[in-house]
Each structure stands twice: as structure tokens, then as C-alpha cells.
Chains A and B, each alone.
Chain A
Amino acid sequence: MNDKLRHLDDEQLLLSLYGAAGPEAAHLGSCPECAARLRRLEARRAAWLAAPAPPPNAARLRDQRAAVYAAIGEKRNRPYWRLIQAGALACSVLAAVLLYRPAPAPVETASQPVITDQELFNDVADMMNRETPIAAEPLMALFAPQESQESQQP
């Protein structure tokens, strides 16, 4: 009851002015004094909103537009760099994949015949004891048949 009789304070009036008042704004319907205060506020606000706002500094606006145009131009030129960057990135990824791909599994090879130390020693000794080097054997072989033919002649 008391709340309905109490005049709205400035804050409640301002909230009413901005359309954000709570239930206490119902008081306005029954109080000519508060309603008149709200109307005065509304009139003052309407006059303020209707008055032309002072224009911003023209040079400042021009500079802003110039900056926007410059940024747009920069952005338009950037795709070339982006292509280069994208290409470099793709190459890096490819190189990384190639370099770090897992090594191929070892191929099973036929087992080599195992040579014992004794056999190796014998082979070396045999090579050292030869009068004719192994490399010369094919050459010597050319002469061997003739010798044998001559030896067969009476």
C-alpha cells in the first residue's frame, strides 16, 4: 500500500524513461505528479535526440577511410604471400613425411655359407703359395691347350 503511494525516485523515473522500470512504475498511472515528471524527462530527452549531433572531425574520418582502403589493398595483395606460405608449408610437411617415414622391414636374404677360421686360413695360405696369381689364371688358360696339343704330338 505504502509502495503505491510513494513517489518514484529519480532512478525509478529514469528506468521508466528507458522502458526498463519494474512493477513500481504502476504508480505512474495513479500519480499525476510523477507522471508529469516523467513527461518532462521524456520531452527533454526527445529534444536531445532530435538535435543534430555535432559532426565528427572530417579530417579524422578521412584518415580512417584511408586506413581502411590501405588495409583492404594489403589484404588483396596478401593471397600471393598466402599461396607461397601454403606451398612452403606443404613442402615442409611432405619432406617431414618422407624423412620420418618408417624404415622398410629388412629383407630376408639367403644365409651366407659360414666359413670357418681354418678354411679361411687355408684359402689365404693357398693363395700365397700359388706361383700364378688367381687373376692371371684365365690368361694362362689361353696357352694351356696349345701346350697340351704339343705334348700330344709325337
Chain B
Amino acid sequence: MAEPLAAAGAATRPSDFSGWMLAEQPRIFRLCQRMLGDSDEAGSATQDVFLKAYQAWDRTAAELDDPSRWVTRIAVNTCLDRLRSRRWQFWRKRPDGPDEEIILAMAPAREPDGEAQVFAGQIARRLAEALDQLSPRQRAVFTLRHFEDYALEEIASQLGLDVGTVKAHLARAIAKLREELKDLYGMSRGERS
């Protein structure tokens, strides 16, 4: 699907930016959805991410070993900025609940039967709501580890933290999520021993 930047009068830019954006956009949008829990805001964040990437494209792209990693870092930082600024937006209307796209982004793999799908959808809805209770850092760490399957060292590099701090954020995030979702778990098995 050709969407040349020439349409925007940007014919002098590297011609592969469009193709690169086309390939990365679904992943970045999904990451933003999972980090922000709001599809509209995730869309706006995704636009910001690619605009920032475009502005740095000329001077950065040639030196990049891994443009995917680079754009992921931009996305994570963009989402962190938005999550932090939310704290001050007390007037901001909270959505009634996670929208369908967010639930799809959170949902586990498609379950074979209808009942399991419904159950998975409910879990995903609850998870999306519970993620809202995390701090921005905890949310970023959990999202990158759980959904994106990044190694702890990679998360530390993306967020500019040391691995120990990433582990601490992850442990707090898991504890908080378990507290929020405890009715879905039942009793802890450790209590048996």
C-alpha cells in the first residue's frame, strides 16, 4: 500500500519512512493501547511517536542498529509522559471502562470455544481496569515484560533504570494486580504448605 510522503510535500525525505511506519505502526499502536488503556489516546500517542521518529529520521536512521527498538523507546517515553500528565488532569473524564479494542489488545490468545472466549474477555477487561491502578513506571515495566516479552535488561535499558529497580517495579505491579484481581484467582497455593 503506497502512501508516499510526497502527498504531504515531503518527497525529499528518505523514501522508506512510509514503509517502515506502515510495518511498525500496528505494534506501536498496540503497545500504546496497553500502556494507556484508551484507544483514542493511544492513537494520538502513536501519531506523536511517528512524528517524533520522522523528525529524527534523517540524523538517526542511518546510525540505528535496531529501528524497532528505537521507536519502542520513543513510544514508551511518549506514553510515560502522558500517564504522568494524567495525574494532574483531575478534570479528565475517566472512561466508563476499557473499550473493545483495548480488551482485544489485552486478551489472551483466542480461546477455542465461545464460553472460554467470553471468560478471557472478562479477564482482559478486569486486567485493563487493574492496570489503571499502577503507577506509570509499574505499568510500563509490566506492559513491556508481560505483553511485549522484553527481557528485564532490555526494559531497564528502555526506561533508563537498573535491573534491580525494574524487578522491584515488576514485583509491586504483580502484587497490586493480584490484589485487584484476587477474586479471579482463588486462594494462593502457597498457603497450603
Do A and B form a real pair?
A: yes
A-side residues, CB < 8 A to B, are 5-12, 14-15, 18-20, 37, 47-51, 53-57, 60-61, 63-65, 67-73, 75-77
Contact B54 A68 (CB under 8 A): yes
Would you call B39 an interface residue if the criterion is a C-beta within 8 Å of the partner chain's C-beta atoms?
A: yes
Would you call B84 an interface residue if the criterion is a C-beta within 8 Å of the partner chain's C-beta atoms?
A: no
Contact A73 B29 (CB under 8 A): no
Q: Select one of B7, B166, B188 contacting A11, CB under 8 A.
A: B188
Contact A49 B149 (CB under 8 A): yes
CB of A133 to closest CB in B, whole Å: 81
CB of A81 to closest CB in B, whole Å: 15
Residues on A with C-beta less than 8 A from B190 are 6-10, 12
1/0 contact trace for B22-36 toward A, CB 8 Å? 100110011001000
Contact A76 B174 (CB under 8 A): no
Residues on A with C-beta less than 8 A from B43 are 60, 63-64
Question: Which of B59-67, B69-77, B103-111, B132-140 sits within the interface?
Answer: B103-111
Residues on B with C-beta less than 8 A from A50 are 109
Complex A-B: 25 CB contacts under 8 Å = A5-B193, A6-B190, A8-B190, A11-B171, A15-B174, A18-B152, A19-B151, A19-B152, A20-B170, A49-B149, A54-B105, A57-B101, A60-B29, A60-B39, A61-B25, A61-B26, A64-B25, A64-B46, A64-B50, A65-B3, A65-B50, A68-B47, A68-B54, A69-B10, A76-B8
Contact B30 A72 (CB under 8 A): no
Would you call B116 an interface residue if the criterion is a C-beta within 8 Å of the partner chain's C-beta atoms?
A: no
Contact A53/B105 with A37-B189, A60-B43 known, Cβ cut-off 8 Å: yes
Q: Select one of B7, B174, B193 contacting A69, CB under 8 A.
A: B7
The 4 closest A-B pairs by CB, nearest first: A9-B190, A51-B109, A73-B8, A69-B8
Contact B192 A68 (CB under 8 A): no
Contact A18/B145 with A65-B25, A72-B5 known, Cβ cut-off 8 Å: yes
Would you call B55 an interface residue if the criterion is a C-beta within 8 Å of the partner chain's C-beta atoms?
A: yes
CB of A115 to closest CB in B, whole Å: 77
Residues on B with C-beta less than 8 A from A70 are 8
Residues on A with C-beta less than 8 A from B170 are 15, 18, 20
Contact B146 A18 (CB under 8 A): yes
C-alpha gap A63/B108 in the complex (Å): 27
Would you call B161 an interface residue if the criterion is a C-beta within 8 Å of the partner chain's C-beta atoms?
A: no
Residues on A with C-beta less than 8 A from B166 are 20
Contact B30 A53 (CB under 8 A): yes
Contact A68/B101 with A9-B190, A10-B185, A20-B167 known, Cβ cut-off 8 Å: no
